[in-house]
Amino acid sequence: MEEIDEASSTRLCPSKAPRSLMKWRKRVKSEYMRLRQLKRIRKAEEVKALFLSNRHKIEGRTDLLNEEWSKLRIQSIPFSTSSGSLPNKKQCMVEFGFPSFPNQAVAMRPLTTVAGIPFMYSWSPLQQNFMVKKNMGPQKEHPHSHRLTPSRTRTALQSESTR
């Protein structure tokens, strides 16, 4: 019976049980933190490895493209000879950063003019809102509002107001 009492006394003793429990909690927490840190480190290493593999792929493709471009023959714009009818035209000059490419010049051709928009389709801001609601009188509008009306209507209203 004494053994049972000793065993039960250790169970009931409040000073020994919390110490071992605290030790286990510390161990579990430190192990958990260590595992999380290892997972973080593995993830960072994986990201670095993927980045390097992508970089190597991009460099390989860039090298292939550079080789293809070096094999291609670039055809230059044909030089236009200045004839007697083109002496006063402006020239557009293209200069290259590479000494092996000669400068290229082309006579600029003017574009035909575009017809303007008829004035009746142009819009101008109103100085006053002329809409009237029933039994409310003229509406006042903020001076910086952007209500638009055809300029033809505006000029007609101005001529009516000056009469």
User: What pLDDT digit, counting tens, does each position of 39-56 carry?
Assistant: 999 999 999 999 999 999
pLDDT confidence tier of residue 90, bands split at 50, 70 and 90? confident
| 95 contact partners, CB below 8 Å, separation of at least 6 | 103
| 121 contact partners, CB below 8 Å, separation of at least 6 | 150
Structure-token pair, residue 118: 């008829």
